[in-house]
Structure 1
Amino acid sequence: MSKPLKQIHLAAHFPGVNNTTVWSDPRAGSHIEFSSFAHFARTAERAKFDFLFLAEGLRLREQGGQIYDLDVVGRPDTFTVLAALAAVTERLGLTGTISSTFNEPYEVARQFASLDHLSDGRSAWNVVTSWDAFTGENFRRGGFLPQEERYSRAKEFLATANELFDSWHGDEIVADQATGAFLRDAKAGSFVHTGQHFDIHGQFDVPRSPQGRPVIFQAGDSEEGREFAASSADAVFSRYASLKEGQAFYTDVKNRLAKYGRSHRDLLILPAATFVLGDTDAEAEELAKEVRRQQVSGATAIKHLEFVWNRDLSAYDPEGPLPDIDPDVSADHISKGRAQVRMYRDPLATAREWRELAAANNWSIRDLVINTGNRQTFVGSPATVARTINDFVQADASDGFILVPHLTPAGLDPFADQVVPLLQEQGVFRTEYEGTTLRDHLGLAHPDDVRRERAAS
């Protein structure tokens, strides 16, 4: 007997600060004006996506002491944007990245519980730790926490927030339909938490929200991150978009669930994915090459090379050869607040490898950056892309994808109009929302139902 087809989960990432967005395209819109967020969200909801996702930038990036101005400067506050989007959408989930390193549990729990009420149960929290001292200067003396302490704080942060969410028990709260007042016992909302990182007690002032708790997302790929996801998350963002790597990550994380009393259906694996569509596969391949060249201008290529060389390379021609000088490994890094700083652990070895690649392929600096950077995940005709996405999900390389278009706000529209209908025809993606909350969309149980089930067993 054949295995039933898995249903695909799809989400949309409004990119923000990144190396994906093509700013030179005349169709590129503002990342500050609300109309851009509204268009993007409405497209995702029209296509029956599970949720919209916002990342979080907590400091403007710098390079060589100057604001890094090759991508968007500034980003509106996550909660403000999501609350506004709750008013212009009805079913789409609203996911925000909020750091556990630079916030406090009471504040974050209150904000997410409020968002869940405002959206009728559509909120989700991507729990992250913040690693660099540069960003940390905005928040704390000393800048940052060591990795082991960041994850320790994150685990306790989430556990404390859950205590706050659960301080109002669904079984004990009844609203008076005439007055709207909550009839409850005196302990509802009371909390006491004493731990390594937090020592708080008081009264949580937001009643139990429609989902009980926001859906929890996690993005770390380290050993600590995988364990954190298996123990506490509802969904995990994977960076593995190839079939083989995706299957390995999927199997590893899902197999960790049992020791926490959880099943495979309790955690979704959702890689980020970029795409380029064309009328034919060949046309899409040509378009993808052009998009890559638009994403990596000459100035961007030089800046990217400076991540590795840790030197001012502004005098070099991006269409010329790589520098013959070696990276500077002795000084403070030229780039501040960028994840790329961590990507190249051995700059001297990376420089040697890149020189060999450039010589073998006759690549300029710009050619090298284009060809060694991230390529689009899905490239082809709508039929090819729909088939490939379905193949990944049915092969347990993921449970779906978080799509990151290279144009905002309208870059999601072609996927919604051309690929989604094909997935619907295959019977692997919804044609209508069947529930109202994000937990409904993702097939996740309500925390109150889980609590009752455990109490009865």
Structure 2
Amino acid sequence: MSKPLKQIHLAAHFPGVNNTTVWSDPAAGSHIEFSSFVHFARTAERAKFDFLFLAEGLRLREQGGTVYDLDVVGRPDTFTVLAALAAVTDRLGLTGTINSTFNEPYEVARQFASLDHLSGGRSAWNVVTSWDAFTGENFRRGGFLPQEERYSRAREFLATAHELFDSWRGDEILADRATGTFLRDARAGAFVHRGQHFDIHGRFDVPRSPQGRPVIFQAGDSEEGRDFAASDADAIFSRHSTLKEGQAFYTDVKSRLATYGRRPDQLLILPAATFVLGDTDQEAAELAREVRRQQVSGATAIKHLEFVWNRDLSAYDPEGPLPDVDPVVSEEHISRGRAQVRMYRDPVAVAREWRQLAEANKWSIRDLVINTGNRQTFVGSPATVARDINDFVQADAADGFILVPHITPGGLDPFADQVVPLLQERGVFRTDYEGTTLRDHLGLAHPGHRPDRRTAGSAERAAS
């Protein structure tokens, strides 16, 4: 008997401000005007995607002591954008990246519970930590947390938020539509938490939301991050986009779930993925090469090399050879506010490897950055891309993808119009939403009892 086809999960990542985006394209639009967010979200909803995903930037990036001017446009507040999008969409999930290192559980839990009510049960929280003391300078607490302490705080942060969400049980809410002020049980919303990182008590003032709790995402790839996802997350945002790497990551993370009393289907693996479409595979490949050259200008290539070399390389020609000097290994780094800095644990070894690659392939600095950086995940005609995505998911290398187009805000449109119908024809992607909440879209169980009576503060009451 053949194995049943897995249903593919698809989401859309609003590109924000980074070198993935091709600003020079005439079709490129604003990254901060609300009309861009609306266009992007409505395209994703028209295509029946599970959710829209927003990343987070808490400080402008700097390089060499000045603002990094190649990808800084600004990034609006996550909750403000998602709350506004809740009013112009009906079914699309709304996922926000919120930092557990610099925020407080009560505040974040209250914001997500409110968003879940406003959206009728479509909120999700991508829980991240921050190693970056530079970013922390923007916050009262500031400072630096070692990796183990960051994850310890994140675990307790999430557990505390869950205590707040769960402090309202379904049978404690009196359905008084006239006032919304009466409680069946005086304990409703009461909480006490005393732990290593948080010592709080009081009363949570947002009733149980339509999903009970927001869907929880996690994005770490370290051992601590994988365990955190296996123990507490509903989905993990992965960077592994090749079949072999994807299968290894998928198997590893899913195998950890049993340790925490969970089944493999209780955690979804969703890698980020880029795409380039053409009428033919050859046309798409040619376009992909041009897109990469637009994404990596000469100035961008030099800046990228400085991440590794940790020294000013502005005097070097991006179309010339790599520097023959070694990187500067120091706790002080030329780049601040970039997670990329942490990717190169041994910069001297990386520089040696890159010089060998450049020499063997006769690559300039720019050529090297283009060929060693993140390239498009799916390239081809719509039929080829639909086939490749389906093959990837059916081979248990992922449960779906979070798509990152290179044009804002219209870059998702060709995928929605040309690839999604082919996935629907294959029977591996929905033709319409079957439920109303993000948990429905993702096939996730509702955490705990929810009454049939309409709760005070519900989405329907707000809309009436």
Q: Hey, what's the Cα distance between the residues in 2 that align with 1:240 and 1:302?
A: 26
Alignment of 1:150-229 (within 5 A): 150-229=150-229
**Could you tell me whether the CA contact under 8 Å between 2:244 and 2:397 is conserved in 1?**
yes
Q: Structure 1 length as normaliser, TM-score?
A: 0.97
- Equivalent position of 2:362 in the other structure: 362
CA deviation string 1:153-193 (max 9, x = no partner): 00000000000000000133231245444442000000000
Matched, 1:314 2:319: no
- Equivalent position of 2:447 in the other structure: 447
Q: Hey, what's the Cα distance between the residues in 1 that align with 2:233 and 2:11?
A: 17
**Could you tell me whether the CA contact under 8 Å between 2:102 and 2:142 is conserved in 1?**
no
- Equivalent position of 2:462 in the other structure: none
CA deviation string 1:213-268 (max 9, x = no partner): 00000011111111111110000011111111111111111111122221111110
Q: Structure 2 length as normaliser, TM-score?
A: 0.95
Q: Hey, what's the Cα distance between the residues in 2 that align with 1:331 and 1:399?
A: 39
SS of 1:447's equivalent in the other structure is coil
- Equivalent position of 1:454 in the other structure: none
Q: Hey, what's the Cα distance between the residues in 2 that align with 1:190 and 1:18?
A: 42
**Could you tell me whether the CA contact under 8 Å between 2:318 and 2:365 is conserved in 1?**
yes
Q: How many residues align?
A: 451
**Could you tell me whether the CA contact under 8 Å between 1:98 and 1:127 is conserved in 2?**
yes
Q: Hey, what's the Cα distance between the residues in 2 that align with 1:445 and 1:430?
A: 19
Matched, 1:375 2:375: yes
- Equivalent position of 1:427 in the other structure: 427
**Could you tell me whether the CA contact under 8 Å between 2:20 and 2:295 is conserved in 1?**
yes
Q: Hey, what's the Cα distance between the residues in 1 that align with 2:318 and 2:400?
A: 38
**Could you tell me whether the CA contact under 8 Å between 1:16 and 1:72 is conserved in 2?**
no
Q: Hey, what's the Cα distance between the residues in 2 that align with 1:142 and 1:440?
A: 38
- Equivalent position of 1:402 in the other structure: 402
SS of 1:121's equivalent in the other structure is coil
- Equivalent position of 2:460 in the other structure: none
Alignment of 1:214-253 (within 5 A): 214-253=214-253
How far residue 374 of structure 1 moved from its aligned partner, in angstroms, is 0.9
CA deviation string 1:69-119 (max 9, x = no partner): 101321000000000000000000000000000000000000000000000
**Could you tell me whether the CA contact under 8 Å between 2:189 and 2:204 is conserved in 1?**
yes
Q: Hey, what's the Cα distance between the residues in 2 that align with 1:328 and 1:152?
A: 32
SS of 2:124's equivalent in the other structure is strand
SS of 2:272's equivalent in the other structure is strand
Alignment of 1:80-119 (within 5 A): 80-119=80-119
CA deviation string 1:181-214 (max 9, x = no partner): 4442000000000000000000100011100100
- Equivalent position of 1:274 in the other structure: 274
- Equivalent position of 1:127 in the other structure: 127
Stretches of structure 2 that go unaligned for 5 or more consecutive residues are: 452-464
**Could you tell me whether the CA contact under 8 Å between 1:175 and 1:181 is conserved in 2?**
no
Q: Hey, what's the Cα distance between the residues in 2 that align with 1:373 and 1:287?
A: 17
**Could you tell me whether the CA contact under 8 Å between 1:23 and 1:71 is conserved in 2?**
no
Q: Hey, what's the Cα distance between the residues in 1 that align with 2:29 and 2:284?
A: 23
How far residue 140 of structure 1 moved from its aligned partner, in angstroms, is 4.2
**Could you tell me whether the CA contact under 8 Å between 2:226 and 2:253 is conserved in 1?**
yes
- Equivalent position of 1:455 in the other structure: none
Q: Hey, what's the Cα distance between the residues in 2 that align with 1:311 and 1:373?
A: 20
- Equivalent position of 1:33 in the other structure: 33
CA deviation string 1:297-343 (max 9, x = no partner): 00000111111111111111111111122222247211001112111
Stretches of structure 1 that go unaligned for 5 or more consecutive residues are: 452-457
Moved more, 100-109 or 442-451: 442-451
Change (3 A) 1:182 1:404: farther
Tell me which amino acid in the other structure corresponds to 1:207.
P
Tell me which amino acid in the other structure corresponds to 2:84.
A
SS of 2:448's equivalent in the other structure is helix
Tell me which amino acid in the other structure corresponds to 2:164.
L
Matched, 1:147 2:137: no
- Equivalent position of 1:6 in the other structure: 6
**Could you tell me whether the CA contact under 8 Å between 2:96 and 2:126 is conserved in 1?**
yes
**Could you tell me whether the CA contact under 8 Å between 1:6 and 1:393 is conserved in 2?**
yes
CA deviation string 1:353-405 (max 9, x = no partner): 11111111111111111011111100000000001111111111110000000
User: Where in structure 1 do 4 or more consecutive aligned residues deviate above 3 Å?
Assistant: 177-183
SS of 1:348's equivalent in the other structure is helix
How far residue 142 of structure 1 moved from its aligned partner, in angstroms, is 5.5
**Could you tell me whether the CA contact under 8 Å between 2:171 and 2:184 is conserved in 1?**
no
**Could you tell me whether the CA contact under 8 Å between 2:60 and 2:68 is conserved in 1?**
yes
SS of 2:171's equivalent in the other structure is helix
Q: Hey, what's the Cα distance between the residues in 2 that align with 1:206 and 1:450?
A: 15
Moved more, 177-186 or 339-348: 177-186
Tell me which amino acid in the other structure corresponds to 2:205.
D
How far residue 27 of structure 1 moved from its aligned partner, in angstroms, is 1.1
